[in-house]
Amino acid sequence: MYKILANTIFLGKDIHFLPVCHSSNDIALRLVREKQAMEGTIVVCADQIRGKGQRGNAWETQAGKNLTFSLVLKPDFLDLTEQFYLNMAISNAIRKIFEEYVSDIQVKWPNDLVVPGFGKIGGILIENILGTKGWEYAVVGIGLNINQEVFSAGQATSLKKLTGSEFDLEEIFRLLIIQIEQNYIRLRQHALLPIKQEYLRYLFLWDSWQSFDTKYGTVNGKISGINPLGKLELTLENGEIQFFDFKEIRFPSIGI
């Protein structure tokens, strides 16, 4: 299961498959620290029992129904101030593959995949290893709802819930890795502006007036950009522009 991929340059040439694990990110981070991983190493877990999400949340997944895996990358060609471009490149790749099956896939900042009106379909968690010379490794954890139909908490959906069809996990995995590698190569070529423009074009609630709960209290504004550090740019009704980290703002529960 999950054989070495033939149609990639470096991603998926070293795949570690685990029937059960606590967190694929934890396994990948350990492999990096023990010098048992290289750029392109992938850890795939069929049953991830303690998957991690943003804000310290757990990621719910049913054994054998979804894709939960982690990529080891070495984006040392980017400055530390450009870290969020990796998030954008990965998010764009996943969205592009999913939109072949489901229309209106959007990215909810910073890196969730959602289908407005139905719920969250996937998420990304990037954990970095920094050294004295800068960015050494990034472990990119990806959790995607493919064939799961019942979720115990929160509003979530899956490809099967949305289409009524059962999907081949290995085939979706193969398509995703090929697309992620292509986007990562664009990142290496420093195609930062096109990557950002694509990310913003599919951003959930982009340029839409909403009420947001923030560290300053509830404000009315619209998402108007992302700054170089990945902070969300909000334009308020009075024209003032404020920036927020992902721990400093909560989205309205509208459309998902």
In this prediction, residues 135-160 reach a mean pLDDT of 92
Predicted confidence (pLDDT) per residue in 29-84, tens digit: 999 999 999 999 999 999 887 655 554 555 567 888 999 999 999 999 999 889 99
Distance set, CA 11 to CA 93, 103, 145, 181, 197 (Å): 14, 27, 22, 6, 25
Average pLDDT over residues 103-107: 93
pLDDT at 74: 96
Is residue 234's pLDDT more than 70?
yes
Q: Where are the domains of the chain?
A: 14-201, 210-250
Q: What is the CATH T-level fold of the domain 210-250, as seen in this structure?
A: SH3 type barrels. (2.30.30)
Contacts of 143 (CB under 8 A, 6+ apart): 48, 51, 53, 59, 61, 66, 67, 68, 122, 123, 124, 125
> Residue 87 corresponds to which tokens in the numbers above?
């998030």
The residue-averaged pLDDT of 131-160 equals 91
Reading the block at residue 208, the tokens are: 């839409």
Q: What is the pTM of this model?
A: 0.93
Residue-wise pLDDT for 160-184, tens only, equals 999 999 999 999 999 999 999 999 9
DSSP E strands: which ranges in the chain? 14-21, 41-48, 51-52, 58-59, 67-73, 106-108, 112-115, 119-131, 134-144, 210-214, 217-226, 232-236, 241-244, 249-250
pLDDT on residue 164: 97
CATH class of 14-201: alpha beta
Residue 147, pLDDT > 90, answer: yes
High-pLDDT (> 90) share of the chain, % = 78
Q: Is the pLDDT of residue 198 over 70?
A: yes
pLDDT higher than threshold 90 for residue 109: yes
Which H or E run includes 92? helix 84-98
- CA distances from residue 14 to 8, 29, 50 in whole angstroms, order as listed: 12, 15, 23
Kindly indicate the confidence band of residue 9, based on its pLDDT and cuts at 50, 70 and 90: very high
What pLDDT is attached to residue 215? Answer: 87
Q: Which of 74, 83, 96 is nearest to 10 (CA)?
A: 74
Mean pLDDT throughout 79-106?
95
